[in-house]
Chain A
């Protein structure tokens, strides 16, 4: 199974900050990497697919990069609505796996 390790597990930041979340796969997964945002009590929302493609309707302050085994999600200019949990997700092979999540909190 491919293990997905996100870091950090939690992060405190202020409105306007630039933050980066990393995700490392236990083996190479090409660009089969997606990022989701989840707010309390809600379903996750797709932000980035195929490592760096922005999902329709997602603000351009979100960006993704990486290939192989190391990936990053960057939020440039945090907005109040961005404080949430973020998950990476590999769809390279089954069993499909998610990172353990990163909780982004207001400082």
Chain B
């Protein structure tokens, strides 16, 4: 069955960097766009970034633009999120999600990872 497994979360000081990874399995990773979505403790869902199936395009929420970079390695079936200049407000569970877009339909998130917690604190 489709699996998305995030790793790389932890406690980090403000201004430091962290890289999240998401290992995908049981589907053709190179055929799907991928996103990162986060959820601050006790709060709602916030879209963070997207990357096309082939890595040709990406986009970011204004709150992370210029600080975070989404990338992928289709040969390793892995999605990444490089997070620089971290702030307290970046504290959240980060979910890796699969974009279920097909021609004639809409982007939706049909598979989610279990999430990895990033805590930004001194």
Is there an interface contact between B115 and A43, defined as CB atoms closer than 8 Å? yes
Is there an interface contact between B47 and A97, defined as CB atoms closer than 8 Å? yes
> Nearest-CB distance from B93 to chain A (Å)?
9
0/1 string, B90-122, CB within 8 A of A gives 1: 000001000011000111111011110000000
Is there an interface contact between B100 and A49, defined as CB atoms closer than 8 Å? yes
> Nearest-CB distance from B103 to chain A (Å)?
13
Is there an interface contact between B106 and A31, defined as CB atoms closer than 8 Å? yes
Which of A20-28, A76-84, A87-95 faces chain B?
A87-95
Is there an interface contact between B62 and A95, defined as CB atoms closer than 8 Å? yes
Is there an interface contact between B112 and A43, defined as CB atoms closer than 8 Å? yes
Is there an interface contact between A100 and B47, defined as CB atoms closer than 8 Å? no
Is there an interface contact between A43 and B95, defined as CB atoms closer than 8 Å? yes
Interface range, A side: 20 to 34
In the complex, which of the residues A33, A46, A49, A94 contacts B105, with contact meaning CB atoms closer than 8 Å? A49
> Residue among B105, B107, B115 with the most chain A CB within 10 A?
B107
Is there an interface contact between B106 and A91, defined as CB atoms closer than 8 Å? yes
Is there an interface contact between B50 and A94, defined as CB atoms closer than 8 Å? yes
Is there an interface contact between B45 and A50, defined as CB atoms closer than 8 Å? no
Indicate if A96 sits at the interface (CB-CB under 8 A).
yes
In the complex, which of the residues A44, A94, A100 contacts B112, with contact meaning CB atoms closer than 8 Å? A44
Is there an interface contact between B106 and A94, defined as CB atoms closer than 8 Å? no
Known: A95-B61, A96-B50. A46 touches B45 (CB 8 A): no
> Nearest-CB distance from A19 to chain B (Å)?
19
Chain B contacts with A in 31-46, Cβ cutoff 8 A: 35, 44-46
Is there an interface contact between B115 and A91, defined as CB atoms closer than 8 Å? no
**Which residues of the partner chain A approach B114 to less than 8 Å between Cβ atoms?**
43
In the complex, 6 of the A-B residue pairs with CB atoms within 8 angstroms, ordered by the A residue number, are A36-B45, A89-B45, A89-B109, A95-B62, A96-B50, A99-B44
A residues sitting closer than 8 Å to B (CB atoms) are 31-34, 36, 38, 43-46, 49-50, 53, 55, 87, 89, 91-92, 94-101
List 6 additional A-B contacts (Cβ < 8 Å) besides A45-B112, A55-B108.
A32-B107, A36-B109, A87-B45, A89-B45, A89-B108, A98-B45
The 5 A-B pairs of least Cβ separation, nearest first, read: A91-B107, A43-B112, A49-B108, A96-B47, A34-B108
